[in-house]
Chain A
Amino acid sequence: MSEQPVQLPLPGFESARAEWRRDYDGQAGQDGILRNRSGIEIKPLYTCEDWGEERYMEDLSFPGQLPMTRGIYPSMHRGRTWTQRQLVGFGTPEDYNHRLKTILAAGGTAGSLIPCNSVYRGYDCDEVELPLLGTCGAVVNTVDDMDLCYRDIGVGELSTAVNDPLPFTLLALLLAVAKRRDVPWSRITGTSNQSDYISHFVANHMFFRIALPGSRRVLVDHVEFCQTHLPGWNPISVVGQHMQQGGATPAEAMALTLCTAIQYAEDCRTRGMDPDVFLPRFTFFFDISISFFEEIAKLRAGRRLWQRIVRERFGAKNPKAWRFKFHAQTSGVDLTRQQPLNNVARVAVQAIAGIFGGLQSLHTDAYDEVLSVPTEEAARIAIVPTEEAARIAIATQNILREEAHLTDVIDPLAGSYYLETLTNRMEEEIEATIARIDAAGGMFAAAEAGLPQDMIGKSARVFQEKVDSGQETIVGVNKYREAEEPTTAPRPLERPDQSAMEAHLARFRAFKAERSQAAVTAALDILARAANAAPGTPGQNVYEKVVEAAMAGVTHGELCACLRRELGFGQPLVMP
């Protein structure tokens, strides 16, 4: 290396550019410009004219230090690898318990609980059609069910991400189990996934149960309760994954996620909570598409923006509040039903992007988990992975970490002319979208007005048109197809054992018959009263009443029905 700084413009740059232009310009899109999924121009070559070391301290600094681009902890994955968190949920509580033990034995280091769609919709198992029970997740309605889920597993020893939309009944049942087993709540660790009700209204209709204003109130009550009683629990996970799976570009998904987090933080502050206390418990959840560099840049840009947002908008002084903690899942939308083993390669590429993006925990999709393409939704719907495919998904993480040594160096792509330029450009795109949402009055008002829904819908169509026209290649779908394509799914869908499910239903009915009906009625009355009290009224925290009711034997469906009645039923706000 010369001791002289590089002269700009670079000598020879113009003639070199003329050379590559001659070779590459014809390959770009219709307007002669190649763009990534977020619409950002991608040049054929990046040099120190695009990003130079004079920007090092301002753009990057060091891991664990502002502006956090290089990671939220000083030693990142070199010091502590990410958590391997696979989604688990199927059949009866016994089935769930069996699968969880299998995952833990295979090297998984944390749990997740995916309930049945009947649970998502707010129903108990006796309120829906029997053939649908347990096909997409575990049927968990009572404290006894939750106890079975954790048979031979310590509730205070395993960090669990629970897919548990408000009013967070599954966490309430988990706390009831802890009480029953004399485990102090301070030892319960994990995350309330699917707590992000705004994302449900704008992007993923699977999870909502309560109308928007009521949802807004219950979420703040939940944060308040967790702050008081559950120091190891993350009450909020803001879900960019829904936005992106719904069709938002990576930049839009990051922007809408940050806007949603800003909304929740403002709502908590309005309640009188201290940002330096609640912000460190905010977590995020992102989709990682196969657009490799774009995803890495998205995550790095998001980390840099979040520290600025919490400091500028919320005056956060606690360094823990500056940390942009996130879980990531490889994108199901990019996986294909055609030539399904190709998905192993896709998942590996997506996972590498997430790892280089500095994630804290990772779910790698099983290759047969989502037999879907961009016209469809993703995320572990319909197809529960075979045990072999689930093992490969975990092995992929082990291989990347221990064979490929991806964790040896912190933020290893930093300083790349391309990646740093792209990170800065993604940041600008994200900020532009944040400004649009701000101008609409913030995320809550924007969602009510349908603005993010509109953005997501348009982007979904634009991407689909690119796939339809062949501008975006999907191997085995619109290019490199095999002559003899299997015409249907490669294997039958696994179904829960019907007799076991019927036995579970009988057990559920017995549970309801044997509990103290007076205690149940009283708990539901108290809950209804709290729901009708003004938000923030002392002693009328709705979530506290949900937990107390769960301990009194009230079921998941009864809790949801009570709050649906008192706070209104959510309806989707998106039309085609």
Chain B
Amino acid sequence: MSDSTKSISPPPRVLVTKIGLDGHDRGSRIVAAYLRDAGMEVIYTAPWQKIEAVVKLAVEEDVDVIGVSSLATDHLLLPDLMAALGEAGFGHVKVVAGGIIPDGDEAELLRAGVSRVFHPGSPREDIVATVGDLATQARAACANG
């Protein structure tokens, strides 16, 4: 468990999901298991979630971080997710993306407010530590907001 996950209580709540049309979920399942094993509360969904469904679940489960796995261009819908979270008054939630996300797209996602993009080969410790830190930030932002 990284220091960052120890630092907040209750532990970080993370929604791990896939939006759009692709169903390849080996990556999202492994990352969900990494986070769970690091002591986080992980809410895991089947692939093909609609944006509205992700927002609804994030609100209901009061998550700190949303992790979206994209291996087939579905990350193109992430700006829509960011906008929908803002409209739902849930803009403090941090969003990370992982998978096959090319150059130009990454810059576009970061501009849209995505906190971090993980590429294939990202070390487990990096993923766990980053999500833990973002959860801390999200919770602070929520308390202040």
A residues whose Cβ falls under 8 Å from a Cβ of B: 117-118, 120-121, 128-129, 131-132, 135-136, 204-208, 245-247, 336-338, 371-373, 375-377, 381-383, 457, 460-461, 464, 468, 477, 487-493, 571-572, 574-576
B94 → A minimal CB distance (Å): 21
Residues A381 and B71 in contact in the complex (CB < 8 Å), given A204-B23, A205-B23, A376-B99: yes
CB–CB A576/B22 < 8 A: no
B128 → A minimal CB distance (Å): 12
CB–CB B105/A120 < 8 A: no
Closest A residue, CB atoms, query B101: A489
CB–CB B26/A376 < 8 A: yes
CB–CB A464/B73 < 8 A: no
Once bound together, how far apart are the Cα atoms of A571 and B48, in whole Å? 11
Whether B25 sits at the interface, judged by CB under 8 Å, is yes
Q: B124 to chain A: which residues have CB within 8 Å?
A: 468
The contact sample of 18 A-B pairs, CB cut-off 8 A, is A120-B21, A120-B23, A121-B23, A132-B77, A207-B23, A337-B121, A372-B100, A373-B121, A376-B26, A381-B100, A383-B100, A457-B29, A460-B26, A461-B30, A477-B121, A488-B103, A493-B73, A571-B46
Closest B residue, CB atoms, query A488: B103
Q: A490 to chain B: which residues have CB within 8 Å?
A: 103
> How many Cβ-Cβ contacts under 8 Å join chain A to chain B?
137
Once bound together, how far apart are the Cα atoms of A336 and B121, in whole Å? 8
Residues A205 and B25 in contact in the complex (CB < 8 Å), given A371-B100, A375-B30, A375-B121: yes
B103 → A minimal CB distance (Å): 4
| Partner of B24 from A206, A457, A461 at Cβ < 8 Å | A206
Whether B64 sits at the interface, judged by CB under 8 Å, is no
How would residues 65 to 94 of chain B score, 1 for a CB under 8 Å from any chain A CB and 0 otherwise? 000001111101100000000000000000
CB–CB B100/A576 < 8 A: no
CB–CB B77/A381 < 8 A: no
A451 → B minimal CB distance (Å): 17
CB–CB B32/A576 < 8 A: yes
| Partner of B120 from A204, A372, A492 at Cβ < 8 Å | A372
Q: B104 to chain A: which residues have CB within 8 Å?
A: 492-493
CB–CB B29/A493 < 8 A: no
Q: A375 to chain B: which residues have CB within 8 Å?
A: 26-27, 30-31, 120-122
Q: A383 to chain B: which residues have CB within 8 Å?
A: 100, 102
Whether B36 sits at the interface, judged by CB under 8 Å, is yes
